[in-house]
Amino acid sequence: MSAPIQPLTTLTEDETLLRQSVREFSENRVRPLVREMDEHAKMDPRLITDLFGLGIMGVEIPEAHGGSGGTFFHSVLVVEELSRVDPSVSVLVDVQNTLVINAILRWGSEAIKARLLPRLAENTIGAYALSEAGSGSDAFALQTRARETGGGYVLNGRKLWITNGNEADVFIVFATVNPDAGYRGITAFIVERGTPGFTVGKKEDKLGIRASSTCELIFEDCKVTPADVLGDVGKGYKVAIETLNEGRIGIGAQMLGLAQGALDHTLKYTKERKQFGKAIADYQGVQFQLARAATDVETARLLVYNAARLRDAGKPFLTEAAMCKLVASEAAERTASLAVNLFGGYGFVKDYPVEKLYRDAKIGQIYEGTSNLQLQTIAKNILA
């Protein structure tokens, strides 16, 4: 008889310890800053220092390069736990780990790894610059150009909606070296803050995840060297596609944590709030809504964890990544909306945490591929 299959939510001892460590950090260090960071739309720099100190800004970076030497699943747990308290903080960590570091680990030359990974593990934030005004869902309709010169490339163009734009010192920038080649002309470059011709532009004033910076990047005759190419020239589309598949699991984890946080607040409040002489949690109508929300959250967790486990096992996970992001983002919006409803008037004011979680939830169905794109991906694969 074969051994019984363990539930996907079962964690190993080291995973459990990591979760507990990040949960304690989130409660003790992040929660006291959430309101202020949201109001000022700015990440507290002291908190960023603490994130590095905790070792969660370089989860998968090998220990030889100063990182934690963890797994992708470890990154997912970190993002989930941070998002229970503040999705703005979790997305900063998520982009660092699931996009920037993953891309460098997979596609970077040994020289790029040696140059950047120790910094990314210790004190340097990264950003991933793909989106433009005319290339959101149509990710490869890039207008940013990389003109080849004798000593390298000259970048010209603008990027929009770049997470971590204000805080980052290392940027993975996608530009096309040959517009006539379509997506096969796209190349990924490493561009560092301070490079002549590169500036960080306007910071967006957003509905949610306000402490997370979302900025425009401007390239005006920005010179980079051949050593700054990430992967091969003309293969940037592969860097983007394969990295974004992993990034979707990260966003799934972010939305899962948000949904769990909203549910936690709601369960506690419904036991305390009394109407007509008893706690509203005692009413069957409320109980049924809470039961559906809990089921939504657990469904999202199973999908997110499954996709992350598949990725770590080296198995195909494209469909599962799309499914987990789709379901988790919808669960987050529904659960946060229910939280506002059950908090009553208090749910609509900033003195209580669910108002912010409701605003934060909306982006989950937009970035790293809209819900319609996830549905398209799922349909394409199940019908293949």
Calculate the average pLDDT of the chain: 96
The model's pLDDT over 216-265, given as tens digits with 9 standing for 90+, comes to: 999 999 999 999 999 999 999 999 999 999 999 999 999 999 999 999 99
Residue 185 contacts residue 238 (beta carbons within 8 Å) = no
The model's pLDDT over 293-329, given as tens digits with 9 standing for 90+, comes to: 999 999 999 999 999 999 999 999 999 999 999 999 9
Q: Is residue 8 predicted with pLDDT exceeding 70?
A: no
How many Å apart are CA 175 and CA 235, to the nearest integer?
Answer: 11
Residue 126 contacts residue 100 (beta carbons within 8 Å) = yes
How many Å apart are CA 240 and CA 255, to the nearest integer?
Answer: 22
The model's pLDDT over 200-229, given as tens digits with 9 standing for 90+, comes to: 999 999 999 999 999 999 999 999 999 999
Q: Tell me how far CA of residue 26 lies from CA of 14, 53, 61, 260, in angstroms.
A: 18, 14, 22, 14
By percentage, how much of the chain surpasses pLDDT 70?
A: 98
Q: Give the domains, in start order, of the chain with CATH numbers.
A: 13-125 (1.10.540.10), 127-234 (2.40.110.10), 238-382 (1.20.140.10)
The model's pLDDT over 42-74, given as tens digits with 9 standing for 90+, comes to: 999 999 999 999 999 999 999 999 999 999 999
By percentage, how much of the chain surpasses pLDDT 90?
A: 94
Active-site residues: which are they? 368
pLDDT at 136: 76
Q: Is residue 1 predicted with pLDDT exceeding 50?
A: no
pLDDT at 40: 98
Q: In terms of Cα–Cα distance, which of 21, 32, 40 is closest to 213?
A: 40
Q: Is residue 352 predicted with pLDDT exceeding 70?
A: yes
pLDDT at 32: 98
- State the average pLDDT over residues 168-193: 96
Task: Look up the pTM and report it.
Answer: 0.96
- State the average pLDDT over residues 28-39: 98
